Structure 1
Amino acid sequence: MVASGDVGVAFAMVCGAGAASSLGASCVFAVKVASPRVLAIALGFAAGVMIYVVFAEILSQNAIDSFQDAGYSGNAAYRLATACFFGGMLATAALEALAPAEVVAVLQSDPHTRDLLRMSIVTGLAIALHNVPEGLATFVGALEDSEVGASIAVAIAIHNIPEGICVAMPIYYATGSKWKAFFWGSLTGLAEPLGGLLGYLVLSKEEPLSFGIVFSLVAGMMVFVSFKELLPSAFRFDAIDRVVSTSVIVGMAVMAASLLLFTL
């Protein structure tokens, strides 16, 4: 059974990850935005953390164990977890299909074009849309294991910082208002608690089958976000791969070390 305190901690982690969008949006108050190299390192590290925790913990253990607790055999549990894993990828891809590709490319647009404000709003909606499964992933991970949840929350938070920049900067150039840019850049992070709420509604019944399905779906969502969002964004800031691949490996190593600590 999941204690109410655990639910509170999980929601707190989700809200903390979402609030990182405000950190990125605050760039409009600074003279210089974070350097491309730092952003590339942060995004690569986040991808490494998320990819490793999916295959070492969430999918291979939590999801399959939940299906077995629901009465399925080991082979059946593996098949179900695999099917739901790719189902999570397909679900996230469907959300992505509703959003345009200008999430980062919009920053390369002429800030004086008449369409900049419209593109800024669309970008914000697109980012908010794909933040929903990220919030779900953070909540589910934290509910199962607070240490794992904290690692996912940090990875998502790192990812949300440049997203806040992507929304705030074009709105600032379009309106000339730093506060409007900060407000809308921060608002995209509110989609994270929405994803956490969806996770709570599904898992509140305390059924092992529900846990198995959600863990597997979330694992697919996390891997999709890593390969479709984090890594491409990282390589945009580091096209010749000076730091991205190394950062991915370091992220995996740090996540592995944190999980190994619990086996001692």
Structure 2
Amino acid sequence: MYLTPLVLTTIAGLSTGLGGMIAVVCKPTQRLLAASAGFAGGVMLAASLSDLVPGALRFYSSYLPPLGRGAALVLLLAAGMLLAGALGRLLPEEADLADRMAGDAARTAALRTALITGAALLLHNFPEGVLTLFAGTADPSLGFRTTLAIALHNIPEGLAVAVPFAFAMHSRWGGVLAALVSGLAEPVGALAALLFLRGWFTPGFLNGTVVLVAGVMLWVALAQLLPAALAYRRRLPGLLGMAAGVLLMLLGIAALP
């Protein structure tokens, strides 16, 4: 009963590796790094504000008055931002990473960007894995459509992790591996839901988690990715990357709801 949904969830999660393959095809340069940071920031902004938050708002509209659902969204988004800020403090500072990177400031900044982006996407992919599992269990055709939608959304997310990691570590295949690891949260989330947490994953809990993750992604985009994209002398690659990320994610949301 659960084998096919678990396989679909794994396929959706590991599609991040397809985005990571761009790090193999294209040499990671500072220009590509700026473009990918802008792209990742655009993807996270569009996904949070145009997909995750509106979906939860529709759910809360059935249970709460306007002020109540607005307060619920604001509080959960703020909690997600606080969580992202705390997460950033737990990760190594650039000064600590610089010792391992022989004082290379660009590689140090790229590695920290990859770590923060990867951590945010791990949190984002966990509820996606639960969603794919439940959709496939309830209706196989819905499971296939959900898998396709999430797999296509995961490709740019894999790019966002792979390029800065490949630049920092001088390893293109290492970037692909990092992208794949960020996608593993989806089958892990599905297995956790199936084995241990099935009673917790009510619609209210899942929608609250989605908004919390949206807050994390907003903070990572605004505090880490977009400043990194615009930190270089030439800002055009970062701006173009951000525009491409927003437009591509909006296209995906519209075409594959």
On whether the aligned pair clears a TM of 0.5, the verdict is yes
Aligned residue for 2:120? 133
Give the letter for the 1:213 counterpart. Answer: G
Give the direction of change, closer, same or farther, for the CA distance of 1:86–1:200 in structure 2 (3 Å limit).
farther
* Alignment-derived partner of residue 13 in structure 1: 12
Inter-partner Cα distance in structure 2 for 1:130 and 1:252: 16
Following the alignment from structure 2 to structure 1, what is the Cα–Cα distance between the partners of residues 111 and 32?
A: 23
**Deviations 1:130-170, CA, capped at 9 Å, x for gaps:** 6343123134346365455335412321111134225523x
Could you report, residue by residue, the CA deviation over 1:79-112 in whole angstroms, capped at 9, with x for unpaired residues? 212211121111121111011232997399537x
Q: Given that residues 28 and 167 in structure 2 are in contact (C-alpha distance below 8 angstroms), is that contact kept between their aligned partners in structure 1?
A: no
For normalisation by structure 1, the TM-score amounts to: 0.68
Is 1:67 matched with 2:55? no
| Aligned equivalent of 1:85 | 77
| Whole-Å separation in 2 of the counterparts to 1:107 and 1:235 | 25
Report whether the alignment pairs 1:190 with 2:185: no
Partner of 1:257: 251
Q: Does 1:153 align with 2:154?
A: yes
Q: Normalising to structure 2: TM-score of the pair?
A: 0.69
CA contact (8 A) 2:43 2:242 kept: yes
The one-letter code of the counterpart of 2:74 is T
- What is the identity, as a one-letter code, of the residue corresponding to 1:235? L
Find 1:106's aligned residue among 83, 98, 102.
98
User: Structure 1 stretch 186-195 or stretch 238-247: which is displaced more?
Assistant: 186-195
Q: Is the 8 A contact 1:14 1:192 kept in 2?
A: yes
CA distance in 1, matches of 2:41, 2:11: 22
Assess, with a 3 A threshold, how the Cα gap between structure 1 residues 43 and 19 changes in structure 2: closer, same or farther: same
Q: Are residue 248 (structure 1) and residue 242 (structure 2) matched?
A: yes
Change in CA separation of 1:241 and 1:165 when aligned onto 2, cut-off 3 Å: same
Q: 1:223 is aligned with what amino acid? A: L
Structure 2 equivalent of residue 229 of structure 1: 224
Alignment correspondent of 1:172: none
- 1:51 is aligned to 45
1:144-183 matches, within 5 Å, as 145-146=146-147, 148-165=149-166, 168-169=169-170
Match of residue 213, structure 1, among 204, 208, 214:
208
Q: Which runs of 5+ in 1 are unaligned?
A: 114-118, 170-177
1:191/1:39 CA distance change after superposition, 3 Å: closer
Shift of 1:241: 0.9
Q: Secondary structure at the match of 1:243?
A: helix
Q: Equivalents in 2 of 1:184, 1:38: separation in Å? A: 14
What is the identity, as a one-letter code, of the residue corresponding to 2:53? L
The number of equivalent residue pairs is 235
Look up the SS of the partner of 2:102 in the other structure: coil
Query: Is the 1:88–1:217 contact (alpha carbons within 8 Å) kept by the matching residues of 2?
Result: yes
- Higher mean C-alpha deviation, range 181-190 or range 150-159: 181-190
Q: Which runs of 5+ in 2 are unaligned?
A: 133-145
The sequence identity of aligned pairs, in percent, is 16
Amino acid at match of 1:134: L
CA separation of 1:55/1:226 partners in 2, compared to 1, >3 Å: closer, same or farther?
A: same
Name the Cα RMSD after superposition: 4.2
